[in-house]
Structure 1
Amino acid sequence: MNDAPQKLLAACILVSLFGVSQAASAPAWQRLHLPVPEQKPGYDFPVYANHKLNGDLRSIREVIIVQHGIQRNGDDYYAAAMELLQASGRSPDEVLVLAPNFPGKPDTGFDGMPVWSVQGWTGGEAALPGTGTQAGLSSLQVLDDIAQLLADKTRLPLLKKLSFAGHSGGGQLMHRYAVLNHVDEALRVRGLEVQYVIANPSSYLYFTPERPDRSGAGGFVLYDKTACPAYDDYRYGMQNMVAYARSTTGMDLYQRHWQRQVTYLVGSLDTDPNHRVLDKSCGAEAEGPTRYQRAHAYWRYEQYLGKHASASNAAPASASHHYFDVQGVGHDQGKMFGSQCGVKLLFGDRAATGKQASQCLAVQP
């Protein structure tokens, strides 16, 4: 049963709660109205949250945006994040957990909202034609709109930190968002700490046409186009860029990204080259055979570009990027974010970690 929509607030937020989920442990999702000033009247979007978003948010000091994977199961990711919050010792009164839920073409119950192809949202592609008032809307723009809405000091006057976290397909989206978004610096100017926590994505966005050298030399070389003519196309490289970031160039993006606060996590057991939801396209295979190998190759690649940029004085060395192997964990979002480093990243250094929390091995540059 659906509740009636709430009245439009002065802050341009419209939230109406929908009926009880079929899963007893899952909350009802909330209909969030995201204003787009240049495209009024905006659009509605489904999210899970531990506070009523049309209620009093004046006590909120931190927001954790946790992004689901390709199953579009925001309720599961929300529930896992809430378990970690409750175990952390942090007061839920001051932490807003928010799980966006991107509707896919097979999904029902999202009338009037933008809908994406099953996996199109993971790369920032546009919503499908004829779906909602904002068909053509990039999933990256949705995250922009959520972030800027949350940064409104009239609604969240105590907000100090905004974390974007994603695993698997959600990690793909959050990785590309960390690279491509246009709001990070503006949010920091407004006094917010902004961080990105990216766990076990299938692929990464490369800034140049180079890829890991398969000869064993450990460097980076141009990939063989005869093996994969489109290996450097977006979502793996800079060619045929998604519309959201079409005016950008690779090294300009890298130099900006290099200064953002980004932490990459990979499970030490996420090593199956035939995992059922691993991206096996030739563009992804150019990055390595498994998520674990792709992660380590990309971490080396970031350092490789950093050394070249520093040598040319194009960008200083970064102390803002960190890399962790999560020991004994495969492709499991609960164990990744519930690891010792995952909990500390999301809930702070003083957060309590469970006895079964996996250890994390910091990967040095």
Structure 2
Amino acid sequence: MLKTFAPVLSAKPAVRLAGATIALAAALTGCAGAPPAPSATSKPVEAAAKAASAGPHWQRLHLGTGAGYDFPVYASHRLDGDLSRIREVVFVQHGLQRNGDDYYAAGAALLKASGRNPDEVLLVAPNFPGTPDHGKGFDGMPQWSVQGWMSGENAVNTPFTVSSLQVLDDLMAYVTDKARLPQVARVTVAGHSGGAQIVHRYAVLNNVDERIRARGIDLRYVVANPSSYLYFTPVRPAGADGRSFAPYDKAVCPNYDKYRYGMQDIVPYAKGANGLSLYQRYAGRQVTYLAGTEDNDPNHRVLDKACGAEAEGPTRLRRARGYLRYERYLASPGLVIRHQAYEVVGVGHDQARMFGSQCGARAVFGMAESANPDGAACRAPQL
């Protein structure tokens, strides 16, 4: 069941991607100040700007079993219409500001630039309503605390108790229903910053991945510049270079291993999960990590500075490198880790330029590097 909303999420006019998605950088990253001037890296999406500026489509989707619940999404097709030609679904997950409209617009520009047939690709931007969003049209829908949705916590408004991770399960069920989308062959779930935090935790904790792939649907996750990662054991990067691992000092942070950083007191969605078993399963899932080489400010305004996050490293770039080393540290002989990782050269905490980079556009939208010569360059992680 689906309804199209008449109102929009905010009073601001439709977003225009002037020059490129870089014009959206301030809104997408939550950073204050004017966006930077367009650069050469923005050119691949320049031609797509006008197509994306028509405004996003806000739809009210009914999800779940039993009575279920309504949930707002932006989508490139009417979800109650004919989806029989859709071959690929791309989710782009907003960050801390819960601005799914901006993320949808940026994704639409990049999708246009990719040259993909829009009739065969469904772009979806879920929008998790937060407790500050009262009066924005979310009546009768679950709402989460400002950061609770990023972790998989349950909705906080009665009568709703649904986890944000369960919402992703329900969205996944919706788009992989062969009765609804008979030709869908690939689903990508991508997030940047706060969105990357929920995408990463979903990639670790969900119980539907293998079942979906067993049905011949290629399921992938893209995790770009999150503030923290979920560790499976009590060790953290240690030493001046972060290349060894040891339990963190509880005198500095007594609860460093509590969820959302570790496995203690995990959310009800994953209750009873075992860390090492989760790691072994996660290693076989198709995950691409992206880290901006300039996302290295330990005082960044929206960097998670809780001691549990600081235990993972001082900056997002250091935390990303530490987590990649940690995955290899945990690996037993013969374990195949099906994860890819890239550093996006010269890019900081900027969703538009991360996903518009050569490796980002390829991971999220299947865009060949030859079609994106001016996207930011990517390199292997400096581990």
Q: Name the counterpart of 2:27.
A: none
Distance 2:140 2:116 in 1: 37
Alignment partner, residue 153 of structure 2: 125
Q: 2:62 aligns with which of 26, 33, 36?
A: 33
Deviation of 1:136 (Å):
1.7
Query: Could you say which residue in structure 2 is the equivalent of 1:112?
Result: 140
Q: Deviations over 1:56-108 (max 9, x none)?
A: 00010000001000000001110000000111111111010000000000103
- The reply to whether residue 277 of structure 1 matches residue 302 of structure 2 is yes
Shift of 1:35: 2.7
Task: Give the structure 1 partner of residue 163 of structure 2.
Answer: 138
Give, as a single letter, the amino acid of the residue that structure 2 aligns with 1:342.
Answer: G
Displacement, 1:352? Answer: 5.8
Structure 1 residue runs of 4 or more that deviate by more than 4 Å after TM superposition: none
Q: CA separation in 1, counterparts of 2:231 and 2:335? A: 19
| Cα pair distance change 1:138/1:151, threshold 3 Å | same
Residues 170 and 63 of structure 1: CA distance in aligned 2, closer, same or farther (over 3 Å): same
CA distance in 1, matches of 2:3, 2:89: 18
Q: How does 1:305-324 map to 2 (within 5 A)?
A: 305-306=330-331, 309-310=332-333, 316-318=335-337, 320-324=338-342
Deviation at 1:41, TM superposition (A): 1.1
* Alpha-carbon distance between aligned partners in 2 of 1:219 and 1:110, rounded to the nearest angstrom: 47
The aligned counterpart of 2:50 is none
Tell me how far apart the structure 2 counterparts of residues 186 and 82 of structure 1 sit (CA, whole Å).
29
Give yes or no for contact 2:289–2:341 (8 Å, CA) kept in 1: yes
- AA aligned to 2:303 is L
Structure 1 segment 133-282 matched on structure 2, within 5 A: 133=159, 135-216=160-241, 218-282=243-307
Residue by residue over 1:185-216, the C-alpha shift from the partner in whole angstroms, topping out at 9 and shown as x without a partner, is 01011110000000000000000000001344
CA contact (8 A) 1:90 1:351 kept: no
Distance in 2, matches of 1:19 and 1:286, equals 43
Letter in 2 for 1:47: V
Q: Which amino acid aligns with 2:83?
A: L
Task: Give TM-score scaled by structure 2 length.
Answer: 0.86
Shift of the 353–327 alpha-carbon distance from structure 1 to 2, 3 Å rule, reads farther
- CA distance in 1 between partners of 2:229 and 2:94 (Å): 17
Q: Distance in 2 between matches of 1:362 and 1:231?
A: 29
Query: Which of 1 and 2 has higher RCO (CA within 8 Å, sep 6+)?
Result: 2
Query: How far apart, in 2, do the equivalents of 1:215 and 1:19 lie?
Result: 52
1:101-136 CA-to-partner distances (Å, cap 9, x unmatched) read: 000001031000000001110000110032xx5x22
Report the secondary structure of 1:324's partner residue. strand
**Structure 1 14/364 Cα, relative in aligned 2: closer, same or farther at 3 Å?**
same
Distance 1:61 1:340 in 2: 23
Equivalent residue in structure 2 for 1:335, among 353, 363, 371: 353
Task: Give the deviation of 1:24 after TM superposition.
Answer: 2.5
Contact 2:2 2:59 in 1 (8 A): no
1:5 alignment partner in structure 2: none
- 1:346, CA displacement in angstroms? 1.6
Q: Which amino acid in structure 2 is aligned with residue 316 of structure 1? A: L
SS of equivalent residue, structure 2 residue 363:
helix
Structure 1 residue 15: Cα displacement: 2.9
SS of residue matched to 1:102 = coil
Does the 8 Å CA contact 1:69/1:168 hold for their aligned counterparts?
Answer: yes
Selected match of 1:47 from 66, 70, 73: 73
1:24 matched to 2:14: yes
Residue 343 of structure 2: aligned partner: 325
Residue 77 of structure 1 corresponds to which residue in structure 2? 103
User: Is the 8 Å Cα contact of residues 124 and 242 (structure 1) preserved in structure 2?
Assistant: yes
Per the alignment, in what secondary structure is the counterpart of residue 288 of structure 1? coil
Q: CA deviation at 1:27?
A: 1.8
Partners of 2:351 and 2:370 in 1: CA distance: 18
- Give the number of aligned pairs: 340
Aligned counterparts of 1:214 and 1:279: Cα–Cα separation in 2: 21
Q: Which runs of 5+ in 2 are unaligned?
A: 16-54
Q: CA deviation at 1:20?
A: 5.3
Q: Which residue of 2 aligns with 1:87?
A: 113
* Residues 338, 353 of structure 1: 8 Å contact kept: no
CA contact (8 A) 2:151 2:260 kept: yes
Secondary structure at 2:246's aligned position in 1?
strand
- The SS at the match of 2:201 is helix
Q: Is the 8 A contact 1:89 1:352 kept in 2?
A: no
- Secondary structure of 1:65's counterpart equals strand
* Aligned equivalents of 2:216, 2:86: Cα separation in 1: 15
Q: What is the rounded CA distance, in whole Å, between the counterparts of 1:143 and 1:347 in structure 2?
A: 19
The CA RMSD over aligned residues, in Å, is 1.5
- Percent of pairs with identical residues: 59
Aligned to 2:127: 101
